[in-house]
């Protein structure tokens, strides 16, 4: 009974945040379309330049606290000690103010340089000074959302994300309508302000005891948060750097057409399955952090989460691989059909990526920052090396194949690390579900390669029907699907 309840809890959270992710994507599409009409390509370019600059500074100045603090808040919340919860949030809130101030100072101090890099002159340096205020709104609202996530206030967090997305859209569109391209900077500021005001409303719904602590304690107690956050920041920067190196290599060794096809293919794969990972991570990491001190509980949770990840991905991926040509035409254009083979190969790596993703959070929840950083460096170097090698040998298709090989290696590495460090093994169910999911995807790929279109569609339809039926059967064994859907509906309404 306890195991069934745990499955239900995982799936409920995934369903809710999956819906939120779909809604946010829809809002983003609406905003992009409206912005394209109201301010044109030049306005979108200007908006993109400002946002990319701000996101880079945010990556550095936030110290990764929005992710790292989830672990500490979850542990405090699981303890049931109101004083501990209050102390943890007080420390986190003070560090949030520090990161906000850091973002503002960096932006103002480097505003001429940022303008020079982005626009080729210092004429927009005052715009960056105005935009620096977004770090205050962003840090404070992010802090509130982190607290909601850490205390697993699922309903409030889902509502906050939906209302925040709407508030940002409502704040920006009138400014673009009346001021056109001149409204880009005010729109970015008002969007951040709108999100902050929404977060304040939900902050009032969370109660905790206020605790007076010194600044010396603030720095001492916040040290583990910052250490983990810095590790996450370094990993984000490393990932960005590796992506840059790969893009540059493709551009120089191959051509810009290959680069465009690769990025388009990545966007489809990541966009299609990314919401699954994001939805699960929202609840999984705080949930795992809350039970990480109990070996039996966290090992059970990791296996349960892995089972549900594979089941859900099996449904999502079999639909993706069987409709790839259609999706390319809808989301892009027929000119991008050359990216199809890359997408098909890359899709086969996603179930393995799911297992790597689930197990990676264990190291984070344990607080073993050096081990996590070491594993990330090794896996990223392997991925980059194989990408460079296989692109040199086989072109764009080689990149898809290298991703499969990389994640096969990563899975072995993570299994070995968790076995030696924490005596963890995947359950038989996880292994069986993974192999069946990979078999279904491989059959779909074989249909395309050996039957060709349109015959492949008919064979794939049978595979899709069998895979979805089996996945739903396995899902229903673990949760009451009808009850879950009613629960999600009630949560969103409230």
Q: What residue has token string 């940002």?
A: 168
How far is it, in rounded angstroms, from Cα 316 to Cα 280?
14
Select the more confidently predicted residue: 65 or 342.
342
Mean pLDDT check: name the lowest of 117-126, 202-211, 463-472.
Answer: 202-211
pLDDT higher than 70, residue 18: no
pLDDT of residue 432: 94
Q: What is the mean pLDDT of residues 108-112?
A: 87
Tokens of 181: 């391209």
pLDDT in tens, 167-177: 888 888 888 77
pLDDT in tens, 230-240: 887 888 788 87
At residue 378 the predicted structure's pLDDT band, cuts being 50, 70 and 90, is very high
At residue 9 the predicted structure's pLDDT band, cuts being 50, 70 and 90, is low
Within 8 A by CB and 6+ apart from 327, the residues are 268, 272, 320
pLDDT higher than 60, residue 414: yes
pLDDT in tens, 185-194: 888 888 888 8
pLDDT of residue 352: 93
Closest listed residue to residue 134, CA positions, set 163, 171, 166, 162? 171
% pLDDT > 70, the chain: 87
**Helix, strand, coil percentages, rounded to 5, for the chain:** 90, 0, 10
Mapping DSSP to helix (H, G, I), strand (E, B) and coil, where does residue 22 land? helix
Give the single-character DSSP code of 1.
Answer: -
Tokens of 293: 């001190």
Select the more confidently predicted residue: 353 or 14.
353
Q: Kindly report the average pLDDT of the chain as a whole number.
A: 81
pLDDT of residue 465: 94
CA-derived radius of gyration, the chain = 23
pLDDT in tens, 221-270: 778 777 877 887 888 788 877 887 887 788 778 777 787 778 778 877 87
At residue 383 the predicted structure's pLDDT band, cuts being 50, 70 and 90, is very high
Tokens of 275: 């919401």
pLDDT of residue 492: 53
pLDDT higher than 90, residue 418: yes
Within 8 A by CB and 6+ apart from 7, the residues are 304, 307, 308, 478, 479
Render the burial of 183-208: b for 16+ CB within 10 Å, e for the rest: bbbbbbbbbbbbbbebbeebbeeeeb
Q: Structural domain boundaries of the chain?
A: 1-225, 254-494
pLDDT in tens, 310-367: 998 999 899 988 888 888 887 666 777 888 888 899 999 999 999 998 998 899 888 8
Q: What is the mean pLDDT of residues 14-19?
A: 67
Q: What is the mean pLDDT of residues 395-414?
A: 92
* HSE toward the beta carbon, residue 441, CA cutoff 13 A: 28
How far is it, in rounded angstroms, from Cα 355 to Cα 450?
30
pLDDT of residue 6: 64
Phi-psi region of 207 (alpha: psi -120 to 50; beta: other; left: phi over 0): beta
C-alpha separations of 174 from 145, 375, 402 in Å:
26, 47, 46
Q: What is the mean pLDDT of residues 44-53?
A: 72
pLDDT of residue 490: 64
pLDDT of residue 157: 76
pLDDT higher than 90, residue 73: no
C-alpha separations of 227 from 364, 367, 373, 444, 455 in Å:
11, 9, 11, 44, 55
Phi-psi region of 206 (alpha: psi -120 to 50; beta: other; left: phi over 0): beta
pLDDT higher than 90, residue 463: yes
pLDDT of residue 41: 62
Closest listed residue to residue 349, CA positions, set 313, 374, 377? 313
pLDDT of residue 96: 84
């Amino acid at each position: 009974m306890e195991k069934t309840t745990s499955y239900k809890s995982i799936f409920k959270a995934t369903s809710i945040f999956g819906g939120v992710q779909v809604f946010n994507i829809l809002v983003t599409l609406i905003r992009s379309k409206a912005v394209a009409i109201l301010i044109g390509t030049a306005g979108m370019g200007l908006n993109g330049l400002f946002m990319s600059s701000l996101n880079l500074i945010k990556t550095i100045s936030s110290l990764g606290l929005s992710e790292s603090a989830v672990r500490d808040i979850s542990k405090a919340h699981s303890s049931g000690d109101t004083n501990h919860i209050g102390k943890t949030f007080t420390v986190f809130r003070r560090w949030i103010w520090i990161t906000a101030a850091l973002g503002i100072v960096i932006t103002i101090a480097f505003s001429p340089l940022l303008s020079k890099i982005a626009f080729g002159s210092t004429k927009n340096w005052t715009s960056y000074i105005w935009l620096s205020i977004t770090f205050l709104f962003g840090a404070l609202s992010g802090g509130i959302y982190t607290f909601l996530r850490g205390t697993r206030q699922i309903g409030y967090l889902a509502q906050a994300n939906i209302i925040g997305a709407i508030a940002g859209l409502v704040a920006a569109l009138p400014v673009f309508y009346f001021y056109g391209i001149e409204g880009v900077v005010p729109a970015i500021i008002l969007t951040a302000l709108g999100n902050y005001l929404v977060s304040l409303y939900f902050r009032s719904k969370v109660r905790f005891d206020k605790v007076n602590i010194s600044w010396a304690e603030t720095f001492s107690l916040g040290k583990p948060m910052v250490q983990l956050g810095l590790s996450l920041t370094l990993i984000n920067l490393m990932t960005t750097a590796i992506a840059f190196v790969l893009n540059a290599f493709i551009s120089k060794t191959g051509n810009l057409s290959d680069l465009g096809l690769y990025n388009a293919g990545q966007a489809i794969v990541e966009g299609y399955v990314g919401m699954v990972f994001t939805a699960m991570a929202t609840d999984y990491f705080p949930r795992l952090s809350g039970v990480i001190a109990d070996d039996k509980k966290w090992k059970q949770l990791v296996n349960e989460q892995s089972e549900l990840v594979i089941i859900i991905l099996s449904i999502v991926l079999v639909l993706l691989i069987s409709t790839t040509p259609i999706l390319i035409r809808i989301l892009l254009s027929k000119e991008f059909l050359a990216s199809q083979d890359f997408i098909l190969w890359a899709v086969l790596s996603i179930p393995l990526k799911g297992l790597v993703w689930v197990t990676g959070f264990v190291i984070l929840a344990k607080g073993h920052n050096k081990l996590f950083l070491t594993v990330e460096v090794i896996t990223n170097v392997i991925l980059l090396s194989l990408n460079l090698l296989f692109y040199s040998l086989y072109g764009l298709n080689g990149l898809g194949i290298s991703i499969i090989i990389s994640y096969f290696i990563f899975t072995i590495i993570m299994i070995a690390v968790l076995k030696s460090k924490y005596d963890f093994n995947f359950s038989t169910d996880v292994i069986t579900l993974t192999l069946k999911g990979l078999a279904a995807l491989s059959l779909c790929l074989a249909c395309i390669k050996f039957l060709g279109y349109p015959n492949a569609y008919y064979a794939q339809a049978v595979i899709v029907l069998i895979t979805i039926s089996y996945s739903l059967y396995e899902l229903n064994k673990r949760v009451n699907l009808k009850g879950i859907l009613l629960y999600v509906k009630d949560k969103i309404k409230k």
